[in-house]
Amino acid sequence: MRKVLLIVWLLSAGAAARAQSWKPLGPPGGDVRALAADPSRPARIFLGTADGHIFKSEDSGAHWTIAGRASSRLDAVITAIVVDPRDGNVLFASSWTRGAGAGGGVFRSADGGRTWKAAGLAGQAVRALALAASDPNVLVAGTLDGVYRSLDASQSWQRISPEHSEEMRNFDSLAIDPRNPQIVYAGTFHLPWKTADGGRTWKPIHEGMIDDSDVMSLLIDGSDSKRVYASACSGIYRSDNAAAQWRKIQGIPYTARRTYAIAQDPKLPGNVYAATSEGLWKTADGGLSWKRTTPEFWVVNTVVVAEGKPGRVLIGTEELGVLASDDGGEHFEDANAGFDHRQILALGLEAKRPGRVLAVLAHAPEPILATEDNGRTWSPLGPGLRAEQALRVYAAPDDAWWVSLARGGLMRYDAGKMIWKAAGRMVGESTDAAIGAGHASPSQGTQGGRKPSAKARNGAWALQDVVTDMAFSSNKWYAATNGGLLVSADRGVTWRLKPVGPLTSLPVESVRVSADGRRIRVVSLRGLVFSEDGGESWTWHDLPLQSGGALTLDARPGDENTLIATAHNGLYISRDAGKTWRQAASGLPSTPVQDFAATGGVFVASMQTGGLYVSSDLGRTWDRVPGTLADGFFAAVAASNVPGVIFAASATEGLYLVEWPGSTASNTGYSGRGEQQPAREEAQPGN
């Protein structure tokens, strides 16, 4: 049973302070880029991700907690973490950024990873970082344009490689001699180099290596500093004379040539581990013979020997998160307790059953997961649906999950057969006319437009338009598509075009319907269209011209006069049922809104530029929710049927339940995944 991490932030709303609690619901796991052990506390392990986050374990990886974010950029890949052996609370992390513009650098924490400050080489893609064991004030960093050294624990840096060198650039790995900080080995995208005098002179050290070897990792044997290991795209090499001559180590197949990291057991120097693109490999005789100890399809990015527990080996992987072995790397099992770092693309909630949630995940071995118990356990749903196919998820009144596809059409989960199936057929004369005009048909031409083909069974066409939204009343379902508003009276089996006034095929972005089916609200690129009589008559409403048009529409629960529309330049609010609109600009950026949710008197907006914003006065004023978690990107926010509670689906940290004071969440099953721990204050920006 996982223990719930309760993170409390202070949020000012006007003059009063309000607080929310954030409870992680999983799913556990994610991508791991770096692992590092604390030399002064062997059971403490640090973990780095591909978005700047640092996690920490105090029990050799059995449980994890999020510590903080080293880089404020959401695309900052943590390439290395090093721990000061004199003080395990002092950490250094290096990063590079994947997005547009130069980014990266070295970052320092003095409180065990909770808060971080830039520590040099800002804007540089720092691909490698090493600390000298014999003098912890000495740090060496490898970037795309050279090698840099600090002699004062990152307060200042100097280039120690030749400037503008055609060969000595694109550094990817580093190692410092444990006894002599003047001796540095450096691997580039093309062969390795060495300095024995702190960078005054360098010499190539590739004798015995296959030319054009990208040296991704370097390891100096802790028991014999003349023995050096190097991993390259051409294989793993070992030198027994301080890199004067290399010998390719046999045993690892050529297909596993992408060896991202090498680690050694300090107590058993013959045990060396290779983290590769095709699993973890181990040698017990210094590389004379190797064997793979994990499945071939595991992509292992990093490996560390956790000395806090005998025989403990941790590996960080793509998709699978952290795995642990307690028998020297021979067998592994999941070690993701507390490491919730999944990327959620789409989210679905069951209104009648608060604990039932479906999440569509990217970079996950099982991309469609559901929980029936509010995140305590997750189960895969499939096969038949891939993550990249899913556009949005809906919990329909038939107790089934429905997914709209990015390429068009709908799929329904058949719980009896445990498989996803295509669902929905178009019927009716208006449908035939629309198909003849170029709308959805069972097949499409390859050069634009759609060509008619034979009708499906019972005179119906397969629904193929992209469904951007679904809404459900007690007796009818509605779907918003680029071909028009669709309606179904048989729980999604068949669909008909629903005219919006005189317009049969008005492209529709979003649709909302009341429980009794009388009130229908449609969002089109041409404006907002409302009906109060089940679609018999319609009235048009418009946002201000500068909005660029509405994208989605929501109503405050229990108050149909208060409407909230998302637009290209922010959020717009009407307090008179859509007659007049005003942009919500006090504290809320005029940038695209990713998603919106309203619960009780609280409005929450997730922005496409990142961050969550909250209003406690019905959208009149807004505050950005502080903290490293809330600074991220949230693909979806959704209100539960419990006032004061929303679900926030992070692009990197999985699913969170966010509870505002005064909610009744604790009485309705929203209790997280186990025993609640004492609250701790989350790190605030600038601390």
pLDDT averaged over the chain? 85
Amino acid in position 500: V
634: three-class secondary structure by DSSP: strand
Instruction: Evaluate whether residue 157 is within a structural domain.
Output: yes
Q: Which of 340, 364, 396 is the last residue of a domain?
A: 340
Is the same domain home to 546 and 568? yes
Q: How many Å apart are CA 187 and CA 174, to the nearest integer? A: 6
Instruction: Evaluate whether residue 50 is within a structural domain.
Output: yes
Q: What is the CATH number of the domain that holds 162?
A: 2.130.10.10
Is the same domain home to 114 and 209? yes
With beta carbons less than 8 A apart as the criterion, state whether 396 and 491 touch.
yes
Q: Which of 292, 325, 340 is the last residue of a domain?
A: 340
What count of other Cβ atoms lies within 10 Å of the Cβ of residue 504? 18
pLDDT digits (tens, 9 = 90+) for 395-441: 998 889 999 999 999 999 998 899 999 999 999 755 554 444 444 44
| pLDDT value of position 629 | 67
Is the same domain home to 283 and 409? no
Q: Which of 312, 340, 368 is the last residue of a domain?
A: 340
Give Cα separations from 421 to 251, 303, 378, 491 (angstroms).
45, 41, 21, 15
In this predicted structure, the answer to whether residue 326 has a pLDDT above a threshold of 90 is yes
Number of domains into which the chain is organized: 2
End-to-end CA distance of the chain: 33
pLDDT digits (tens, 9 = 90+) for 554-598: 888 888 889 999 988 889 999 999 899 999 878 888 888 899 999
Q: How many Å apart are CA 516 and CA 527, to the nearest integer? A: 24
Is the same domain home to 316 and 352? no
Residue 516: which pLDDT band, with cuts at 50, 70 and 90? Answer: very high
Average pLDDT over residues 504-517: 89
Give Cα separations from 579 to 246, 571, 576 (angstroms).
78, 16, 6
The token pair at 307 is: 């000395």
Is the same domain home to 310 and 352? no
Instruction: Evaluate whether residue 83 is within a structural domain.
Output: yes
| pLDDT value of position 674 | 33
pLDDT digits (tens, 9 = 90+) for 131-149: 999 999 999 999 999 999 9
DSSP 191: -
| pLDDT value of position 405 | 94
Range of the domain at 69: 29-340
What count of other Cβ atoms lies within 10 Å of the Cβ of residue 147? 24
In this predicted structure, the answer to whether residue 272 has a pLDDT above a threshold of 70 is yes
